[in-house]
Structure 1
Amino acid sequence: DRKGFRVYGLAYWEDDPDGYPLYIFHNPAGGSQFVHKMNPDNGDTIFVADLGSRVAGNAAGAFITNQFDVYSWVFMAIANDGSDDRIDIWQLDRRRDWITIDPDHGVIPAGERRMFNLGITASLPPGDHNAQLVFLHDGVGGETVIDLIVHVLGGPPAPFNLLEPVNGDTLYTSEERTFTWEESIDPDPEEEVSYRLWFQTGNESTSTPVNDNLMPVSPDTGFFAVELPARFNWWVEAVSGGDTVECNDRFDFLLRPPQDVVTPEIDAPGEFSIRSIRPNPFNAGTRISYNLNRTSRTILRIIDFTGRVAAELDCGTQSAGYHTAVIDAAALPSGVYIARLTADGEARTGKLVCIK
C-alpha cells in the first residue's frame, strides 16, 4: 500500500525518535518534495516536511546516513530541477548514540540518593568532545548542569569485507582478475589506510602492499609454482599507523591452467546484467560488476542527466563470465549519473550518485 504516494526515494533511520524509521520521499500531483515517515509495523505515516517549499525541484532519491557528518544524522535528498540535478543535505538530529543514561527520568524522595549509569563509547572521531548532562527537577534552582569532556583516542581501522572474486570462484592463469574489497576507514582522519593482499596455498603464503582497495592480478605471474589445478585462500589486512585489521572473512578460489577453460556456452552466467555498483554513493571512484552470458564487445558509458557522456570505458571484447569495471571519479562533479553498459547491441543501466 503506497498510501497514494508517488514514491521516488526510501530511506531508513533506525533511531527515529517517534518509532517511524522508514522515510518516504515523494512527489504529490503537481510536483514537489514531500517527506513522510512510516511505522512499518502498522503502516501508519506522519508528515515530516515539504522540502519543495524551501528549494526548487522534484523528488528523485533519498538516503539517510551518519557518515556524511559523523556528528549528525542527515537526510540526503536528490532533487531534479529540469536539466539540473542536485543533492540537498538536511540535518535530522545530532548523534547521541555515543552516550547513554539509565534511567533518564524518575523520582528521588527528599533526603535520598539515586544512582544512574552513564555509558560513553569512543565512536566519535579522535579528539576532545564537550557535552553537558542537564538535570531538570522541581527542587531549588530547577536545573543542574554537569559539564563533560570526552577525550577520544585513535583506534584501529574499521572492519571490512572482501568483494571479488567471490568466495569459491574459479580463476584461470590466462586471465587477469581484479581483486577488490570494501574500504576500511580509520577513525583518525589524519591517518591513511593502506592494505596488504595475501595469497596462500598449502604451507606457502605471499603478500603484496596495496594503496587502494583493489588490485589487478595476473595469476600466471603472481602465484606460486604449484601443480594446477590448486585451491588458494586470499585475504586482506588494513594497516594504519601501528594498527592492523584483517578482513571479516577469508575467501578461496580454484586456479586452473588455460587448457581447463570451458567454452562460454557451458560456463556462462544465465543473463547479461549489471550485478552491483559499489560503493554508491561514491567519492573517489566506484566499481561496476556485471555478467556477460556470451563473448561480447563491451562499452561502459557514464551519462549525466543532460544526456552528456561524462566518462567512457571501452572494455574491448570480453569472454562470458563475471567482470568488474573501475570508474575513476576524479573528473566527475557531484551529481546523479546513469551507467549504461552495452554488449553486442544490448544495454543495461544503473543509477550512480557522486558526492564530493
Structure 2
Amino acid sequence: MKKMTIAIIGVGLIGGSIALSMRRDPAIRVVGYDIRQDSLDKALTLGVIHAGTTDLQTAVREANVIFLAAPVEQIFATLRKLSDLDLQPEVIVTDVGSTKSAIVSQAVKVVPPHVTFIGGHPMAGSHKSGVEAASDRLLENAYYVLTPASDAPEHHVQRLVELLSLTRAKVVQMDPDTHDQVVGAVSHFPHVLASALVNLVAGYDDENAWHARLAAGGFRDITRIASSNPRMWRDVLLQNRDHILKIAKDWASALEDVMDLVEAGDADRIEHFFQTARDFRDGLPERKPGALPPLFDLYIDIPDHPGEIGRITTLLGAKQINITNLQIRETREDIYGALRITFQSQDEMEKGEELLRYFDYNVYRRV
C-alpha cells in the first residue's frame, strides 16, 4: 500500500483499535484527534497513534481517510464541521456509528463534492472503554458493515475495503436502512429489554430486598448490557426510532402470545416456544464477535478456605494470562462454581482453562 495518512477522530476504544490495526502497515501514518489532551497523551504513550492534536483542521488536513470514531451525536456535529475545513482531494470519510440511515443522509447533505462518505459500523466492542482498552485484535473476525452513500464511487469503496483488511474484520456491505433494522433487533432493542427488566426488578426490590440479593447468577449475565452508557443509548434509540418502535410492537405481540399460552395452560405449545428459541440460539456462532460484546468467562469450583483465590490468580499471572475481572458467586442456581473469572479474549480464556484444569480445578464455561 502506498504512503497515506489516516485521521482518527475520537481516540477511544474503537478509534484506538482501528488506529492500532492501521499501524500494521508501516506506510500508514495515523493522526489522532480528541477534545481531551490527556486521551491523546495516553494514545501516544501506548503507541496507538503517530501524532495527536486537539485541533480538527490539523488532524484532517493531510488525511486520505478520516474515521469518525465518536458517539453518534458527535458524528453529526463533526460532519458539519468538515464542510468548512481544508481537506485532501478524493478524501474518504467514514464513521463507526451503530446507526446508519440518519448519518448517511446527513453526510450526503453536508460533505463537499470532493469528499466521499461511506458509512461504517464495526460490530465488536468490549466491556471496557477508553484508549487504554484498545487492541489491534478487537475487530478480528468481527463483521464490519459498510453502508456507502448512493453516489459513492465504487473504486473508493474498494479502497476502504482494502484498508479495512488491516483490521482482519469481515467487511460486508448493505444499505443503511437494512443495517438499522437488523442491528435494531440484535443490539439496540436488547438494551431496551435488559434495562426494562432491571428497572422492573429494582421496583420490586423497593418492596422486598430479596430481589437484589437473589438477582446474581443468570440475572446479572442476561442483563449485563443494562450497564451500558445511558447517554449513548439514548442517542442510538432516538436515531433508530422507527425500527425500534416496530420491533417493540412485534415483541409485545410475541409476549402476549406466550402469556395467552400460559393462561390457557397449554403445556405442549409452551414447551415448543422454549424449544424453538433454544434451537435458534444454539445455532448461533459461538464465541464470535457480534453486535453485543462477547463474554470470556470461566467458572471455577474452589475450596472454601483462605488463599485459594490468590493461588488461582498467581497461577494465571505466572503464565502472563490477563484477566479483567473476578467475582465470587454467592448463589448456585444453574452454575457450578464459586468464582467467575473474566478474561480479555477468547485466547486468554482458553489458556486459563487449560492451566486451571492441569492443576485439577473443576472449570466450566457458561454456554
Shorter-chain TM-score bucket reads under 0.3
Q: TM-score, normalised by structure 2?
A: 0.24
Larger Rg: 1
Instruction: Determine which structure has greater relative contact order: mean sequence separation of CA pairs < 8 Å that are 6+ residues apart, divided by chain length.
Output: 2
> Which TM-score applies when normalising by structure 1?
0.24
Q: Name the one with the larger strand percent.
A: 1
